[in-house]
Amino acid sequence: MKEALERTGNRASLTAEYTLGHAPSLQHRDREPPPDPSYFGLPAIKKPDWTWFVPAYFFVGGTASGAYITAALADILGRRTDRPYVAAGRFIALLGVLASLPLLVADLGRPERFLNMLRVFKPRSMMSTGSWALTAFGGFAGLAVGVELLRALGNRWPVLRALVWPLRVLSWFGVLPAMYVGSYTGVLLSATNVPLWAGNRFLMGPLFFSSAMSCGLAATSLVARLIGPRSPSGERRFALAEQRVLTTELAITAASALTLRGLARPLLIGRWSRLYQLGSLGAGLLVPLLLERLGRRGGFWSAVSSVLALIGGASTRFAVTEAGKESADDPHAYFSYTRP
């Protein structure tokens, strides 16, 4: 430790060493070890040429899964006044799945072959299991909206009411594929060689799932306010759930930073770092949690928090995906990830 302090000179650069992987101190430049060798600094791995469709899908699909889980929980545990939340969550889930499909298909090099995704089932391919889970989740999302429609039509044709209960119970099982859809995108990114993603293999899935859950809760609360009568109790309880999820997400983010250390560099100083810091950390996590701390809760303020959580969720997907491409281009990051 004494040696580390001596080497880095002061506390500030010690922090920098722990976060960046090296101490950018000019006065000690001569004592710095030479950089790891690489082949002309050229990338040692290739990055996927995914367009913005892919992070957009991560956001939309995640929000859909979070909304589905929110609706199912509100359906099972909620009160009579939570009905607008159930309906909102179910519709958001189906719309999210429907919006996901064109985003995913359009990004393929051969879009007309998208059904080849369901040609085989491979447990060792996250892209394969994810495609199957999304298919199953799409079915459940359709079923849940079907329950909503049956309920509405039941007023006119009472015969249909008999169908509502069994289908409603069946729709609760959709929570499992929804959880998979919300988290697999993070695991998919981590099951590669990209240092920023793979270096955080334990927490990429949890990070994406907590973000999916906060976005789902936020979107459901916002839409429920638009379509239903005002319910102060509902607003309070859903806002509380959102706060808890955001707190978890903050903890996972902090743990990820400690895991990644120097590999997190693209999120600290890269081209996408500003979006990550302002959008994901600031707007998405710190401001909503701060508003709660300051007692700005309920009514208008919880709507503001929900909008911010959605902005944060979108920023996280875009920043993490794009910064991953930067980290793939950095041979030193890859060699430090694959150091024996």
In the range 45-84, which residues lie near another protein by CB under 8 A? 45-50, 69-70, 73-74, 77-78, 82
3-class SS letters over the chain? CHHHHHHHCCHHHHHHHHHHCCCCCHHHHHHCCCCCCCCCCCCCCCCCCCCCHHHHHHHHHHHHHHHHHHHHHHHHHCCHHHHHHHHHHHHHHHHHHHHHHHHHHHCCCCHHHHHHHHCCCCCCCHHHHHHHHHHHHHHHHHHHHHHHHHHHHHCCCHHHHHHHHHHHHHHHCCHHHHHHHHHHHHHHHHCCCCHHHHCCCCCHHHHHHHHHHHHHHHHHHHHHHHHCCCCHHHHHHHHHHHHHHHHHHHHHHHHHHHHHHHHHHHHHHCCCHHHHHHHHHHHHHHHHHHHHHCCCCCHHHHHHHHHHHHHHHHHHHHHHHHHHHHHHCCHHHHHHHCCC
Closer to another protein by CB, 18 or 335: give it. 335
Among 19, 81, 135, 193, binds another protein (CB under 8 A): 193
Minimal distance in Å, beta carbon 57 to another protein?
A: 12
Minimal distance in Å, beta carbon 73 to another protein?
A: 5
Site for another protein in 289-318 (CB under 8 A): none
Site for another protein in 116-175 (CB under 8 A): 116-117, 119-120, 122, 124-128, 131, 175
Does residue 206 touch another protein according to CB under 8 A? yes
Does residue 38 touch another protein according to CB under 8 A? yes
Minimal distance in Å, beta carbon 211 to another protein?
A: 11
Among 21, 43, 154, 228, binds another protein (CB under 8 A): 43
Among 133, 323, 328, 333, binds another protein (CB under 8 A): 328
Does residue 7 touch another protein according to CB under 8 A? no
Does residue 241 touch another protein according to CB under 8 A? yes
Does residue 252 touch another protein according to CB under 8 A? yes
Does residue 190 touch another protein according to CB under 8 A? yes
Closer to another protein by CB, 122 or 271: give it. 122
User: Which one of the spans 87-95, 141-149, 189-197, 275-283 is the region binding another protein (CB under 8 A)?
Assistant: 189-197
User: Which one of the spans 14-22, 152-160, 284-292, 328-336 is the region binding another protein (CB under 8 A)?
Assistant: 328-336
Helix 175-190, helix 126-154: angle, nearest 10 = 150
User: Which one of the spans 39-47, 89-97, 140-148, 264-272 is the region binding another protein (CB under 8 A)?
Assistant: 39-47
